[in-house]
Amino acid sequence: MGMTIAEKILAAHTDAREVTPGDIVKVNVDVALANDITAPLAIKAFESGKQAKPADPDKIVFVLDHFTPNKDIASANQCKMVRDFARRHELEHFFDAGEVGVEHALLPEKGLVLPGDLIIGADSHTCTYGALGAFATGVGSTDLAGAMLTAQAWMKVPESMKFVFKGELLPWVGGKDLILYLIGDIGVDGGLYRVLEIEGPAIDSLDVSGRLTISNMAIEAGAKAGIIRADAKTEAYVKPRARRPYTIYTSDEDARYVSIREYDCSNIEPQVAFPHLPENTRPISEVGEVRIDQVFIGSCTNGRIEDLRVSAEILKGRKVDRGVRCIVMPATPDVFRQAEAEGLIRIFLESGAIIGPPSCGPCLGGHLGILAKGEKALATTNRNFVGRMGDPASEVYLSGPAVAAASAIAGKISSPSEVM
């Protein structure tokens, strides 16, 4: 029996020639990631042991992206703990202040995650890097501490599910719409502890940004990882950025999958996920009248330059509805600089949008856009659980950047065709 991409990567990071689903394996880790919320817990666990230093500091990446610039005293103290640790152990891959960006946009941009890698992160959306043909998954902070000490981790080999997207994409449909459609089909537990292997002509047509969006939300289907095989577009993206060698894996023709599902993209409209689960999806034509108070364009899901271009195309020459707060946050400093160079920042400002620093910001209800009781927001983020972006009595709807920008103009959830 052949192996899937995921199984090949896991096997390559063990002493075994092959692995099968259900095996418990000890794997060598290429990258161990944490942020300002999860790193302090990992540091405490790390320092509770006798070992004085990490096994391989070059494999540790810390990004202070959730509550920075520090929103309060507690977050300031957490960040100080991480800063002190990074200085003490001379961590090269430590991102703070003007170098910080949303971690899952920053690491691919910096060439720190590559095809064939095995990446663990104390953040559930670590699965983003599967879009580069890597095995990337979230872990707890104590598991991360173990990886910091040993450069290894224990893992159960997951089963794989295959999803094939065929046909051509409709106008304004992107990676976010495809993954919302998938989650709407199988549910938030439909991929529980499995790998979502995603392919097809429609996926091939997407740029790397759109693929990163798809893999980012594999966890919203309960998956262990979401993998898209690397191709020429992937290599064109990673080659100028890569800081070390990488390996591209493909699934064998006789690899085993729990299930194989095919979707016809000619039937997939822009999608909107209603509260309070990402599986509560509806096509834009069936949304109805939903007035909104806030729009957020950004996050590790849709804060890259390609997302900002789509939003700016719709907002250019138009005004954000006076009843809506439209917040735009470029995901990284490089994205911010590029958006400024292309004139996108000016478009956003002239439309009446608010520009925020590269940060997770309101995505997790952290700061820079908290919702009040009864308010409704449309966000390009990945989760819309109860209280996710503020008061438990608020509501969060999810969409791609095109629908988000159009909705900011209309003051209600709308299709771009309604405002352009």
Q: What residues does each domain of the chain span? A: 5-262, 275-419
Query: Stretch 394-419: mean pLDDT, rounded?
Result: 97
Band (249; pLDDT cuts 50, 70, 90): very high
Average pLDDT value over all residues in the chain: 95
**Strand, helix or coil for residue 205:** helix
Residue 52 in this model has a pLDDT that exceeds 80: no
Under 8 Å between Cβ of 159 and 195: yes
Band (142; pLDDT cuts 50, 70, 90): very high
For 275-419, the fitting CATH number among 3.40.50.1100, 3.30.499.10, 1.10.10.10, 3.30.420.10 is 3.30.499.10
247 versus 16: the higher-pLDDT residue is: 247
Same CATH fold assignment for domains 5-262 and 275-419: yes
Query: Stretch 148-174: mean pLDDT, rounded?
Result: 96
Which CATH code is given to the segment(s) 5-262? 3.30.499.10
Residue 1 in this model has a pLDDT that exceeds 80: no
Residue 200 in this model has a pLDDT that exceeds 90: yes
Helices (H) and strands (E) in the chain, counts: 15, 18
Give the CA distances from residue 223 to residues 16, 88, 127, 160, 416, in Å, rounded to whole numbers and listed in that order. 24, 36, 9, 9, 31
pLDDT value at position 49? Answer: 75
Preceding amide of 276 cis, omega within 30: yes
Under 8 Å between Cβ of 196 and 217: no
pLDDT value at position 243? Answer: 86
Please tell me the distance from the alpha carbon of residue 134 to that of residue 33, in angstroms, as a whole number. Answer: 14
Tell me the DSSP string of 342-372: TTHHHHHHHHTPEE--SS-GGGGT-SSSPBP
Copy the structure tokens of residue 360. 């997770």
pLDDT value at position 144? Answer: 96
pLDDT tens digit sequence for 59-79:
999 999 999 899 899 999 999
Query: Stretch 193-213: mean pLDDT, rounded?
Result: 97
pLDDT tens digit sequence for 87-121:
999 999 999 999 999 999 999 999 999 999 999 99
DSSP 8-state symbol, 170? P
pLDDT tens digit sequence for 308-357:
999 999 999 999 999 999 999 999 999 999 999 999 999 999 999 999 99
Give the CA distances from residue 418 to residues 35, 169, 370, in Å, rounded to whole numbers and listed in that order. 39, 19, 28
